[in-house]
Structure 1
Amino acid sequence: MKLSIVKSIRTNNFNDEHVMQKITGMWKEASERLPKHESIYGVYHDYQSDYKGDYTLSISVEDSNGESFIEIPSNDPYRIFKVDTTEQGIYNTWNSIWEQEKAGILKRAYSFDFEKYYPNGEIEIYIAIK
């Protein structure tokens, strides 16, 4: 899958005290340029190590007119997590993912993970697995 990058940041969930401000600011800044009736992706890539290390988060769309792209290999296996639509849904789902990883239930590949935001409001998180 080839996605056009709208905006990217580099951050860390545990060592960057401004992580939430950076992420929400990036989404707010990019929102003007995002399509209204297409899926939007939050792609996590360029992992330094595991979920505690630095990573890049890119807001992306299925549009081939952008100047920079992310190419997500189509043959990578993924575990898909449906996100509930409550205000804390994404946060709660990521916490569940991290807990499953800590418990040894989820073996992550740390290649490309992504949140897929559907036009109908549904959200899924795709986690690359080994």
Structure 2
Amino acid sequence: MKLKIINSLRTNNFNDDLLLERIKELWQQASPGLANKITYAVYHNYESDYKGDYSLSITVEDDDGLQSLEIPNFAKYDVFSVDTTVEHGVLNTWKEIWAREDAGALERAYSFDFEKYYPNGEIEVYIALR
């Protein structure tokens, strides 16, 4: 799957005190180009695991020759549905993923993980597996 990068940032879940503000700003900057499109928040270029640095890119399915990410079609994923009826549903889903990983119930590949945002409001989190 080839995805057009709208914008990106490099960050860390635990050492970035302004992480939520930076991610909110990233989405605000990207929003003019996202109307009625399936949008992806892609986590890639992992330094180590979820405790290390990584890149976050806001992308869309649109290959116009500009900067893009290529996600291998052969990758295996575990898919988590986000409860969009609760505040911080995406963050809650990530906390569930991290807890499963810490318990040894999830063997992540740390290649390309992504959140998939559908125009109807549905959100899924795809975690690449080894």
- TM-score bracket for this pair, using the shorter chain length: over 0.9
Distance 1:6 1:29 in 2: 9
Match of 1:113 in 2: 113
Match of 1:24 in 2: 24
SS in 2 for 1:65: coil
Percent of residue pairs identical: 58
Indicate whether 1:51 and 2:83 are aligned.
no
Distance 1:9 1:123 in 2: 21
- Size of the aligned set, in residue pairs, is 129
Q: CA deviation at 1:32?
A: 1.2
| Structure 2 segments unaligned to the other structure (5+ residues) | none
TM-score by length of 2: 0.97
Distance 2:42 2:12 in 1: 14
Match of 1:127 in 2: 127
| Structure 1 segments unaligned to the other structure (5+ residues) | none
Distance 1:66 1:123 in 2: 27
Q: CA deviation at 1:38?
A: 1.8
TM-score by length of 1: 0.97
Q: CA deviation at 1:102?
A: 0.2
Distance 2:43 2:62 in 1: 18
Distance 1:88 1:40 in 2: 18
Distance 1:16 1:87 in 2: 21
Distance 1:91 1:26 in 2: 16
| CA shift digits 1:39-88 (9 cap, x unpaired) | 00000000000000000000000011251000000001000000000221
Is the 1:45–1:112 Cα contact (8 Å) retained in structure 2? yes
Paired residue type of 1:39: I
Distance 1:116 1:66 in 2: 22
Q: CA deviation at 1:21?
A: 1.0
Measured on the aligned residues, the alpha-carbon RMSD in Å equals: 0.8
